[in-house]
A = this chain, B = another copy of it.
Amino acid sequence: MAAQTILFDFTLDAGKTATSIQRQEVARIVRNELEHVFTQLELAYSMESMDNGYFSVLHENKETIITCRIFQQGLLTINVEYYLAAGKEPVLSLDKGKRLENALAKSLQALSGQKIPTLKRGDVARYYPSSVNFDAYERIIEYDIDTLVYEARSPFQKIQILHSKTLGNMLILDELQNIAESDLIYTETLMGRGIENYEGKEICILGGGDGALLYELLKEKPKHVVMLEIDELVMQACNKYLSSICGDVLEKRKTDQYEIIVGDCVDYMKKFIAEGRKFDYVFGDLTDIPISDAPIGECWDFIRTIFEHSFQLLKPDGKYLTHGNGTSCLESLQLFEEQLRLLKPKVKFTTTKAFVPSFMEEWLFYQVTFA
């Protein structure tokens, strides 16, 4: 089992927490309500801050420790933490927690309040952020993970395969969810299945180490697919633990139908450009955070570098297909589209979207062609 952290927030009328006496009164009410649940409660420590703040530590047998904080803005936070051993009943069950929240809200005459669903800490890592936002906004997602299937550190990143009860095996790279066995819709939306015709076409995949895109593309009878993936270890992990979405395409590095080149895609794109090699489709299926060794500076510079090279590899009627970001990441998507507008020669784009199960949100996908 694990430590349990249960967080409560209450918004109070800020006028009611302006003086030290008022804050003491709020603290008294909180303690009184907590004592209904935690009968052995003791005050261990309290402090006031210059800016009309207050903080205290309460505990029951030093096992359940509760911190209570009043911010000058009228916000009250209460954090309850204890260790729940296997087979033991929780100190604060769902019902008790809910009743405590209601009782506190009432006694405090709170304007609003919430109990955040219990956080479980110290067993398997289950909390990950939603889509990568360049505007520093992240949303917590809790996965129903029951097993850490695989963990290793390659020269490029931390690689984990975690098993979710509902999503199957998930590939997590540097703490970011990439793809799960549940995510055929991701690959199908990325490739525009049923819209694009890949028969007899020449295709280049940048990244794609999980093998799912290559696997689905090969079903559409292309002439040839070349995939440029930097991380050998990712492919080994996916070949072993994600075979339901990548089949056996990662078993071999080269067949008549495809070739997987292990290396930095930027280097190989330059090589292909020098050779005058051209493709009908280029897929951007890289991680959001660049792991390339190339000295390319910031994230957006990297993305633009990829764009520029990709378009040099495309036939005049070729298409560049890639994922964007979660549709909630408006700023990030705008920045992405700005990069597209900076390209020369000019390009135009369409978008599609899909709710990706393991991302637990809707994502936007881009189809870019020469203008």
Residues of A within 8 A of B (CB): 2-3, 5, 7, 9, 11, 44-45, 47, 49-51, 53, 55, 57, 59, 61-63, 65, 67, 69, 71-73, 75, 77, 79, 81, 83, 90, 93-94, 98, 112, 114, 116-119, 121-122, 125, 127-130, 136, 138-144, 165-166, 175, 182, 326-328, 330, 355, 357, 360-362
CA separation between A7 and B72, bound complex, in Å? 22
The 8 Å CB contact of A127, one of B55, B117, B143, is B117
- Given A55-B62, A328-B166, check contact A7 B121 (CB 8 Å): yes
- Which residues of chain B are near A49, meaning CB under 8 Å? 61-63
Is B44 a contact partner of A121 (Cβ separation < 8 A)?
Answer: no
Is B142 a contact partner of A141 (Cβ separation < 8 A)?
Answer: yes
How far is the CB of A165 from the nearest CB of chain B, in Å? 5
CA separation between A118 and B127, bound complex, in Å? 10
CA separation between A358 and B50, bound complex, in Å? 43
Is A9 a contact partner of B71 (Cβ separation < 8 A)?
Answer: no
The residue on B at minimum CB distance from A73 is: B83
The residue on B at minimum CB distance from A11 is: B122
Is A326 a contact partner of B77 (Cβ separation < 8 A)?
Answer: no
Identical copies of this chain, number = 2
Is A166 a contact partner of B122 (Cβ separation < 8 A)?
Answer: no
CA separation between A193 and B130, bound complex, in Å? 32
CA separation between A122 and B77, bound complex, in Å? 8
The 8 Å CB contact of A328, one of B83, B140, B165, is B165
- Which residues of chain B are near A138, meaning CB under 8 Å? 94, 117-118
- Which residues of chain B are near A119, meaning CB under 8 Å? 7, 116, 140
CA separation between A94 and B207, bound complex, in Å? 25
Is A127 a contact partner of B121 (Cβ separation < 8 A)?
Answer: no
Is A75 a contact partner of B69 (Cβ separation < 8 A)?
Answer: no
Q: List 16 A-B contacts (CB under 8 A).
A: A3-B75, A5-B7, A7-B119, A44-B45, A44-B47, A55-B59, A75-B83, A94-B136, A112-B125, A114-B125, A118-B138, A141-B360, A166-B361, A166-B362, A355-B355, A357-B362
Is B77 a contact partner of A69 (Cβ separation < 8 A)?
Answer: no
